């Protein structure tokens, strides 16, 4: 299809020649060429058959701005060879909107033909002039009925490509008699859009694949790190288990020590109780001893007092004794004297 477009298959020779002259022209009358009508409009693929039937040979018309090129082509020698239709961009007034509104409410009417076409804003009036009085209907029967109502003001095209002209002429299979350029371009645009979408999806998929590969690489590295970590954790767990066994053995030993300590504690508590009782007994004995000591001190003090008194009396007795001895000695001396005297007397 792209090859057909490049070779402009189905395009009249005169149209090809004029478009070639326009592509080479940078100024002058040929620079006023806007392009072939089929290239200036965009039609959905599902509506291309209807629009082709409605336009007919006008699909290959060359749209021009102004009248300079038309003045040049008045000279037969300047005309391209082959069939050529010139379509001025500026033309007759648009159809009445009231007519459009009235027709839209008729049964079997699908829509106005120009509404099936998209184009740049500059070409919208031209499309309205060409298709604004053409209505798409469901069947030829509907077209014939509406043609009777509208007289020679409107034309109708059916969804299967039949055309009822203002004159009443009916062109059957009008789409098959058309060049197919619009359908081809619509399909090409659709395919191009699909290719672009597929290319974008392919790029996105490639990026996704690359991202996935990066994720896989990262995950593999992460798995390796996790495997290393798991190995380290297993080794650490083994060490921990050994430490746990040692700790449990130590715990058992400490529990035994604790039991022994508890027994020692209970024994110490018992001894402490006995000691407390002994201390209380000793304290009672001490208090009794202190009481007796006080009594002994009192008795000693009394004895000392009596001793002092006795000693004083002893000293007095000693004095008396000494005095008595002196007196006795004196008496004995006196007696001896007396005895001597007595002896002398005798």
Band of pLDDT at residue 9, cut at 50, 70 and 90: low
Determine contact, residues 8/16, Cβ cutoff 8 Å.
yes
The least confident of 15-19, 197-201, 319-323 is: 197-201
CATH of the domain at 131: 3.30.70.1620
109 or 265, which is more confident: 109
Q: Per the domain annotation, does 314 fall within a domain?
A: no
State CA 141 to chain mean position distance: 61
Q: What pLDDT does residue 93 have?
A: 57
Q: Per the domain annotation, does 211 fall within a domain?
A: no
Q: Per the domain annotation, does 56 fall within a domain?
A: yes
Q: Per the domain annotation, does 79 fall within a domain?
A: yes
Q: Per the domain annotation, does 228 fall within a domain?
A: no
User: Which range marks the domain in which residue 139 is found?
Assistant: 2-179
Range 142-154 burial, b when 16+ CB lie within 10 A, else e: bbebbbeebeeeb
Range 219-252 burial, b when 16+ CB lie within 10 A, else e: eeeeeeeeeeeeeeeeeeeeeeeeeeeeeeeeee
Q: Please count the structural domains in the chain.
A: 1
Q: Per the domain annotation, does 250 fall within a domain?
A: no
Q: Per the domain annotation, does 341 fall within a domain?
A: no
Q: What pLDDT does residue 156 have?
A: 95
Q: What pLDDT does residue 125 have?
A: 92
Q: What is the pLDDT of residues 261-302, one digit of tens each?
A: 888 888 878 888 887 788 888 888 888 888 888 888 888 888
At CA 329, angle to CA 323 and CA 332, rounded to 5? 140
Three-class SS state of 162: coil
Q: How far apart are CA 126 and CA 293, in angstroms?
A: 146
Q: Per the domain annotation, does 290 fall within a domain?
A: no
345 or 5, which is more confident: 345
Band of pLDDT at residue 158, cut at 50, 70 and 90: very high
Strand 86-88 relative to strand 62-64, pairing: parallel
128 or 324, which is more confident: 128
Per DSSP, the residues of 2-26 read HHHHHTTTT--HHHHHHHHHHHH-S
């Amino acid at each position: 299809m792209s090859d057909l477009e490049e070779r402009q298959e189905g395009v009249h020779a005169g149209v090809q020649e004029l478009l070639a002259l326009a592509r080479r022209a940078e100024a002058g009358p040929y620079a006023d060429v806007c392009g072939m009508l089929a290239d200036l409009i965009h039609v959905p693929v599902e509506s291309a058959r209807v629009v082709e039937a409605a336009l007919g040979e006008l699909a290959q018309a060359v749209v021009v701005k102004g009248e300079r090129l038309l003045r040049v082509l008045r000279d037969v020698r300047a005309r391209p060879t082959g069939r050529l239709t010139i379509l001025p961009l500026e033309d007759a007034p648009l159809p009445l909107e009231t007519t459009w509104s009235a027709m839209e409410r008729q049964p079997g009417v699908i829509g106005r033909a120009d509404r099936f076409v998209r184009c740049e804003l500059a070409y919208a009036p031209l499309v309205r002039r060409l298709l604004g009085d053409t209505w798409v209907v469901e069947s030829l029967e509907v077209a014939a009925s509406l043609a009777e109502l509208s007289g020679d003001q409107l034309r109708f095209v059916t969804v299967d490509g039949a055309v009822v002209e203002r004159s009443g002429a009916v062109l059957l299979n009008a789409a098959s008699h058309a060049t197919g350029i619009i359908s081809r371009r619509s399909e090409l645009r659709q395919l191009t859009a699909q290719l672009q979408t597929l290319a974008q999806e392919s790029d996105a998929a490639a990026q996704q694949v690359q991202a996935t590969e990066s994720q896989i690489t990262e995950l593999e590295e992460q798995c390796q790190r996790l495997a290393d970590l798991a190995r380290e954790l297993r080794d650490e767990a083994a060490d921990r288990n050994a430490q746990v066994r040692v700790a449990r053995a130590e715990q058992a030993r400490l529990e035994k020590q604790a039991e022994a300590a508890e027994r020692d504690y209970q024994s110490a508590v018992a001894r402490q109780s006995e000691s407390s009782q002994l201390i209380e007994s000793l304290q009672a004995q001490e208090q009794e001893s202190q009481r007796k000591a006080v009594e002994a001190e009192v008795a000693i003090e009394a004895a000392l007092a009596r001793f002092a008194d006795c000693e004083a009396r002893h000293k007095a007795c000693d004095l008396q004794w000494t005095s008595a001895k002196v007196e006795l000695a004196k008496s004995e001396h006196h007696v001896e004297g007396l005895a001597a005297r007595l002896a002398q007397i005798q």
